[in-house]
Amino acid sequence: MAALLSLSATGPRAVAAADLPAPTVVVGAKNFTEGTILAELMAQVLETAAAAHVERRFNLAGTQVAFDALRAGSIDVYAEYTGTGLRDILGDTVPVRDAAEAFGRVSREFAQRYDLLWLAPFGFNNTYVLMMRRDAAQASGIATISELASHPLRYGMSHEFLERQDGMGALRAVYHLSVGSLVGMEHDLAYRALAERAIDVSDGYSTDAKIVTQNLTVLRDDRHFFPPYEGAPLVRRDLLARVPGAAEALALLAGRIDDDVMRRLNYAVEGENRQPAEVASTFLAQLGMTQHGIGAPARARSLPALLWQRRGITLDLTGWHLVMTGTAEALACLVAIPLGIAASRRPRLAGVAMGAAGVMQTIPSMALLAFMLPLFGIGAKTAIAALFLYGVLPILRNTVTGIRGVDAGLAEVGLGLGMTPGQLLRQVELPLAAPVILAGVRTSTVINIGTATLAAFIGAGGLGDPIVTGLTVTDVNLVLSGALPAALLALAADGLLALVERWATPRGIRKRRITDGREQSTDGD
């Protein structure tokens, strides 16, 4: 168990890298295109200019996860925005209007409070904007956010914007917006919803490629509500000491990426379906910083070709997926079966245990992962802990049901013959309940193989990696290269456990009754 968790803390990539002499830098990224591209750029300059071995922990689920991971040392660097640092991390309520002032403040505070360093900004200011379809804005004569106020329109805002302190709530207050309806949606969905006229207004980023490609209008922030959001590498101080060339390497990117460049890079991934790694290496090549080992741009690969190309990776990811799910299931069995046995004898305990496990089941997977993060950090431990909690209920429920389902008369006969409660349990109740208990294990496992794909959001890897990356860069085939093996794995586990279930079913209750109590016909005399 301990060995497993220590292995799981680093994951398969680190194992593969163990024999390289280069210092290892772990680059993190929040799970959206720009975060991923910036992370790739930083990773590649670290690889080429600092000769570091880079481990990529992309797709981290939001600011809190990425920041916690950085503080905990699970990652060494990720791209952060000054505005996010001020409002979300430092908790500033007084807005800073000036970009240099904002950068100065986060630099001082982060160094003092967290021992984290802001390196020189990349050069763009990706602040929030509100956007509408160009035709709709023109028809209503809306060009500024102030002009929105009197129109009760339909707002579809990203979850992060709804939750941020400097997000929707503050915006409504400052501009006195009369909101017709308000829903939270994934950022990428919001664009589709805008195009399909399901919503009128959404939030976006100023470097968003889709503002151009989808014919949207950015509403002017006439009251200067949105603070500057300059992107910059946020690093652990110890990285700069540990990897000598790291600061210089990252400085190569400083001031090289303005709003327009950033928008083009985003478009290359989102609009042209190119891989972030390839987009980054192409850009670095243009800057004269070439990158080895990336190869020709791999575009529009057919699904079979992609599956074949990724077969080795897929096998690794599948193995890792199984290790996470298997560990969680084993722990769930160790807890749920004894608990279920105890609960089958004590109705009150059964109520409490099933209630608690049931509540666990109702917590959305992402939320449960988020609760676990402060306890176990990013990576496999959190994923296994969450999967364990999800896995408990079906096993617990079936253990209680299975044991309670054993004919009360049979249990009484066992006691009447002089069995101790322990002997009754082992010799009668558990064998008879085994098929039901194993059915619970089977349900639990199949569900968890699916749920484990979400582990990619917290950097735990597994078959969710290509799914999450594919969703970020809108590459359906990449999504399928993770989703198909995950589905096959679930089917295989289901089939295998069905066999185990059949094998564990006592022979006497497996067969159908073949005689029917007719003494004359079978008794012989």
Partner 1 sequence: MIELRDVRKVYPGGHVALRGLSLRIEAATTMALLGPSGCGKTTTLKLINRLAVPTSGCIFVEGRDVSQADVIRLRRGIGYVVQEAGLFPHLTAQDNVEIVPRLLGWPPARRALRAEELFALVGLDRVLHGARFPAELSGGQRQRVGLARALAADPPILLMDEPFGALDPLTRRRLQREFVQLKARLRKTVVLVTHDVEEAFLLADRVAVLSAGDLVQIGTPEEIRRAPASDFVASFLGMTG
Q: Which residues bind partner 1 (CB under 8 A)?
A: 409-410, 412-420, 423, 427-428, 431-432, 506-509, 511-523
SS3 for 523?
coil
The smaller minimum CB distance to partner 1, of residues 228 and 414, is found at 414
Residue 184 pairs with which residues in a beta bridge?
Answer: 157
Name the residue with tokens 């925005």.
81
CB of 1 to partner 1, least distance (A): 33
Q: How far apart are CA 359 and CA 41, in angstroms?
A: 42
- Can you state the angle between helices 276-286 and 259-270, rounded to 10 degrees? 140
Residue 27 pairs with which residues in a beta bridge?
Answer: 56, 77
CB of 413 to partner 1, least distance (A): 4
Name the residue with tokens 């990897």.
243
Residue 183 pairs with which residues in a beta bridge?
Answer: 156
CB of 419 to partner 1, least distance (A): 6
CA distance between the termini of the chain: 61
DSSP tag of 513 = P
The smaller minimum CB distance to partner 1, of residues 165 and 522, is found at 522
CB of 456 to partner 1, least distance (A): 43
Q: What is the DSSP string of 198-228?
A: S-SEEEEETT-THHHHTTEEEEB-TT--SPP
Provide φ and ψ at 124, rounded to 5°: -115, 160
CB of 347 to partner 1, least distance (A): 14
The smaller minimum CB distance to partner 1, of residues 23 and 435, is found at 435
CB of 428 to partner 1, least distance (A): 6
Nearest to 134 by CA among 199, 211, 220, 186: 211
Identify whether the C-beta of residue 396 lies closer than 8 Å to the C-beta of residue 343: yes
The smaller minimum CB distance to partner 1, of residues 238 and 412, is found at 412
The smaller minimum CB distance to partner 1, of residues 292 and 512, is found at 512
CB of 525 to partner 1, least distance (A): 8
CB of 517 to partner 1, least distance (A): 3
The smaller minimum CB distance to partner 1, of residues 181 and 427, is found at 427
Identify whether the C-beta of residue 468 lies closer than 8 Å to the C-beta of residue 33: no
Q: What is the DSSP string of 281-314?
A: HHHHHHTT---SS--S---S--HHHHHHHTHHHH
The smaller minimum CB distance to partner 1, of residues 150 and 522, is found at 522
Torsion region of 317: left, alpha or beta (phi above 0 gives left; psi -120 to 50 gives alpha) = alpha
CB of 459 to partner 1, least distance (A): 47
The smaller minimum CB distance to partner 1, of residues 112 and 520, is found at 520
The smaller minimum CB distance to partner 1, of residues 352 and 504, is found at 504
The smaller minimum CB distance to partner 1, of residues 17 and 419, is found at 419
The smaller minimum CB distance to partner 1, of residues 400 and 428, is found at 428
Q: Which two tokens stand for residue 364?
A: 């959305």
Q: Which two tokens stand for residue 164?
A: 């941020």
Q: How far apart are CA 484 and CA 175, in angstroms?
A: 47
231-236 and 116-118 as β-strands: parallel, antiparallel, unpaired? antiparallel
Alpha helices in 56-207, H assignment, sequence order: 63-72, 82-84, 99-114, 134-140, 159-163, 168-175, 187-195
Q: Which two tokens stand for residue 465?
A: 């990696």
CB of 435 to partner 1, least distance (A): 10
Q: Which two tokens stand for residue 42?
A: 């930083």
CB of 403 to partner 1, least distance (A): 14
